[in-house]
Structure 1
Amino acid sequence: MSVKSDISIRRLDSSTVPAVCELYRSIYGEDFPIPWVYDPVELEKREEDGRQATLLAFKDDRIVGQVAAVRSPWNPKLFELTGLLVLPRFRGLGIGGMLASNLMSQLLPELGWVARYTESTTAHDISQRVDLKMGHRHCALALNLLPPSTYRHDDIFIASGRVSCVMGFAEKEDDASAVYLPSRYAEVLKELAEGFSRDFVEDDGAPEGKSSFEVSAFPVAGTAYGAALSLGEGFGADLKKELAPYDSFPATMLQLPLVKGIDRAVEEAFAQGFRLGGFLPRWFENSDGLLLQRTGLPRWDEIKAVTPRGQRLLGIVRKDRETLL
């Protein structure tokens, strides 16, 4: 796709899939918490069916870096930009920037993106700075998301406990649809949504109909994700039942649509120990989202936030957790 001196950027194909698995091993050993990155068959299948698209950086004929755009299961026009990896001996050559630039200027338009996001580790500030150069705004902080073993193979990471990630978002165009706000977090969500044009409405309704959830779990990471696709009358009981198998996990992330009924749903989740994570623009196909989380105590002193907005986000999340537990 592009060439800079002896570095070239190309799309992943069947011949390069095994080398990508080895790229993960060379940086993370066997400790990366998503097992399919080590499975060439599954990785190729994900590329073929459109769940993700990967760019590779080559020096001569050697793969020295990669980045991927992963399509959201909840909104097909929302993509997570993830897996930005560069082998340690090739860092400092601008390869990460080349990968990010090609992803933004060529790959995402081909995929028909409307919104994009990143999860940048707070164990160092490098990926956060790349994130900001890409025009993302930090809107959410996922606490204790990953185990420290994920990062023990790379000396740029500093983590003695579980590692948190800051989530940065950007969108191609404004969304004029109504965003219903829960009273508990109405003002802070308006603050976290700064830079995104929205029509905010304070919710005064109760959930109706049935709740529905999609839950995914990553046992190696000790992290479970629950996405509420609808908010029903029995939301609290349904939530407890759906997440019960993961009560022992160190971190549970709950994603709720900001639609009618969100106020009651937030109070019921709050009663089960969930606390604020932040604002998730375009998280669902027809609505923005709210991140709530239930985790162990974070190591606040190891969470690096590199911008005033990120520091404010950290302060909001910490205050909610510490004053309301």
Structure 2
Amino acid sequence: MSIILDISGDEHITIDTFQPGDAPGVGDLFRKVYGEDYPVKLVYDPEGLVKAFEKHENIPGVARSSKGTVVGYVSIFRSAPVETVYEGGQGLVLVDYRKHGILRELIRYYSEVLAPAYGADAVFGEAVCNHVYSQKAWAMHGAIETALEVDLMPGAVYAKEGTTGRVATLHMTRMYRPMEHTVYAPRQYKEAMRFIYDGFTSGARVAKATDESAAGEPTSIESSHFEFAHVTRMTVRQAGQDFPAVFEEYERDALDKGMVVIQVWLKLSWPFIAGLTDWLSGKGYFFGGILPRWFGEDGLLMQKVAVRPNWEGIMLYSDRAERILAAVREDWQRVTT
């Protein structure tokens, strides 16, 4: 399936799935807009784009002009711990073509065509909160708010938009393959989690987390540092009784590298998760929300910010998002006072 847009008497745009022959044109498109400064360097690498597409790691949709150039691009790509959850983003349209609804149709294309065709369980986006436009765009295509990532991006990235202070993002997910499974809610997050799940079709059943100790297996954590944003993300694959000691080692490394924001991803399928969240709360980590299908089953976002979060800079488009913000801020106040 492709989408055809007639934009003038002698030119039309075809929105379609990426083909290897598009790769040089994708690089040209990004150079025309960003020079060599776009942070995702894959777009400049024709061979890398083709290989990532063949492995289903990065699946683009492109807008081709009938005059022979690539004038728009968007992709779904793997960034979650499980391969069947994709992130949607990297949307770009050449400046001279931005009044024809091309980006809107590119987003519709990956939502309605690419994600189902390539077996995505879910596709999520991180909509910036220094304005509400991207939040509304995600909502138009069936994405639901499930978490708030506080102070995720440095304000300097959006300085031309008049932004001051770090920028939060709203985690929004469109579910393609709901799966029945049980998630365990720590007592302090039970109300917020039930609210999030009540408006989201995921197949999850919320149960009370138990008082049992973490599993007997050794703790396994994967840590990724994003130096340009001063953000560290920790994926907790397994949590054992050595969790505090192992975690503190990873946290110390992040702080030594000057990270401002630390995110922790935990498995909501663990009945013993309450012990982990209690311990993390004691170290200043607070509730972020739910990450649908993050580990195959759902994940929980905990987060810590080294300075006072830029709460005043958060703009949200919906009452549901405001409710999530209230839960996040209330827990931040609880763990920091």
Alpha-carbon spacing, 1:261–1:158, altered in 2? closer, same or farther (3 Å): farther
Q: Which residue of 1 aligns with 2:302?
A: 292
Give the alignment partner of residue 276 of structure 1, picking from 278, 287, 302: 287
- DSSP-derived class of the 1:123 partner: coil
Give the alignment partner of residue 148 of structure 1, picking from 141, 150, 155: 155
Q: Which residue of 1 aligns with 2:209?
A: 203
Distance 1:43 1:19 in 2: 11
How far did 1:76 drift? 2.2
Q: Which residue of 1 aligns with 2:13?
A: 7
Alpha-carbon spacing, 1:171–1:30, altered in 2? closer, same or farther (3 Å): same
What fraction of aligned residue pairs are identical, expressed as a percent?
27
How many aligned positions are there? 321
The answer on 1:184 being equivalent to 2:188 is: yes
TM-score normalized by structure 1?
0.90
Asked whether the 8 Å contact 2:156–2:164 carries over to 1, the reply is: no
- DSSP-derived class of the 1:304 partner: coil
More deviation, 47-56/67-76: 67-76
Alpha-carbon spacing, 1:163–1:87, altered in 2? closer, same or farther (3 Å): farther
Matches within 5 A, 1:156-235: 157-194=161-198, 195-196=200-201, 197-204=203-210, 205-208=212-215, 209-235=217-243
- DSSP-derived class of the 1:245 partner: helix
Asked whether the 8 Å contact 1:124–1:158 carries over to 2, the reply is: no
Distance 2:330 2:31 in 1: 38
Alpha-carbon spacing, 1:93–1:56, altered in 2? closer, same or farther (3 Å): same
More deviation, 7-16/273-282: 7-16
Asked whether the 8 Å contact 1:33–1:218 carries over to 2, the reply is: no
- DSSP-derived class of the 2:284 partner: coil
Alpha-carbon spacing, 1:64–1:150, altered in 2? closer, same or farther (3 Å): farther
Which has the greater radius of gyration? Answer: 2
Give the alignment partner of residue 327 of structure 2, picking from 310, 316, 319: 316
Which residues of structure 2 form unaligned runs of 5+? Answer: 7-11
- DSSP-derived class of the 2:232 partner: strand
Alpha-carbon spacing, 1:133–1:212, altered in 2? closer, same or farther (3 Å): same
Distance 1:239 1:266 in 2: 12
The answer on 1:266 being equivalent to 2:277 is: yes
| 1:23-76 per-position Cα deviation (integer Å, ceiling 9, x unaligned) | 445545555444544544544432232211011112332322211111345222
TM-score normalized by structure 2?
0.87
Q: Which residue of 2 aligns with 1:118?
A: 125
Asked whether the 8 Å contact 2:80–2:294 carries over to 1, the reply is: no
Distance 2:282 2:41 in 1: 33
Asked whether the 8 Å contact 2:266–2:299 carries over to 1, the reply is: yes
Distance 1:180 1:16 in 2: 45
How far did 1:305 drift? 0.4
The answer on 1:55 being equivalent to 2:61 is: yes
- DSSP-derived class of the 1:282 partner: coil
Which residues of structure 1 form unaligned runs of 5+? Answer: none
- DSSP-derived class of the 1:193 partner: helix
Q: Which residue of 2 aligns with 1:250?
A: 260
Distance 2:162 2:37 in 1: 16
Asked whether the 8 Å contact 2:184–2:273 carries over to 1, the reply is: yes
